[in-house]
Amino acid sequence: MTQKLLFVCLGNICRSPSAEGIMNHLLQQEQLTHAFQCDSAGTSSYHIGAAPDRRMAAAGLRQGIVLTGNSRQVQLDDFASFDWILAMDRHNYTDLLALNPDSQNASKIHMMCNFCTTHTDKEVPDPYYGGPSGFDYVIDLLLDACSGLLEHIQQQ
């Protein structure tokens, strides 16, 4: 059975498309693309249709990770159709819980950093208003979190 993962941040142009790209990269390395389907979305409608932020895409490329896709907003049917919904920060997590139309789906919603194995961050910081080092840090943090998430799912 295919595991469906949805990565969620505010605008779906920095953090969540990075998590999606990193997870797809890890799945290719592990030859597990057949077992997973990844997507990303934003809780806001700020950037619908936009490609990933160029600074985020450049940070990904420095680690050999290509970011693709176009921003979209979380839809109500996402809560039923995805197995894992991963929030980048506490604000997104709270928004997802509030948007969720069915309380039975609440157990699917998780904080991304809960799956980190080396970083101690509780949230993925938004690099949008910072410099290049912030984008590089988010890639490193999400590499850790995505690796931990993949391990967690495989152990279940």
Q: Is 113 a catalytic residue?
A: no
- Rounded Cα distance, 78 and 74, in Å: 7
pLDDT at residue number 1: 85
- Rounded Cα distance, 42 and 87, in Å: 10
Helix (H) or strand (E) segment spanning residue 21: helix 15-29
Angle in degrees, 0-180, between the axes of helices 54-62 and 15-29, rounded to the nearest 10: 30
Q: Is 95 a catalytic residue?
A: no
CB 97 within 8 A of CB 104: no
Q: Which two tokens stand for residue 61?
A: 């490329």
Q: Which two tokens stand for residue 86?
A: 């991963």
Choosing from 14, 15, 53, 89, the catalytic residue is 15
Q: Is 146 a catalytic residue?
A: no
Report the side by side order of strands in the sheet with 3-9.
36-42, 3-9, 84-87, 109-111
**One digit per residue, pLDDT tens: the chain, 156 residues?**
899 999 999 999 999 999 999 999 999 999 999 999 999 999 999 999 999 999 999 999 999 999 999 999 999 999 999 999 999 999 999 999 999 999 999 999 999 999 999 999 999 999 999 999 999 999 999 999 999 999 999 999
Choosing from 39, 53, 126, 136, the catalytic residue is 126
Give the 3-state secondary structure of residue 65: coil
pLDDT at residue number 144: 98
Q: Which two tokens stand for residue 116?
A: 């980190």
Choosing from 9, 38, 116, 146, the catalytic residue is 9
- Rounded Cα distance, 35 and 118, in Å: 26
Give the 3-state secondary structure of residue 86: strand
Which residue segments constitute the domains of the chain, with CATH numbers given? 3-155 (3.40.50.2300)
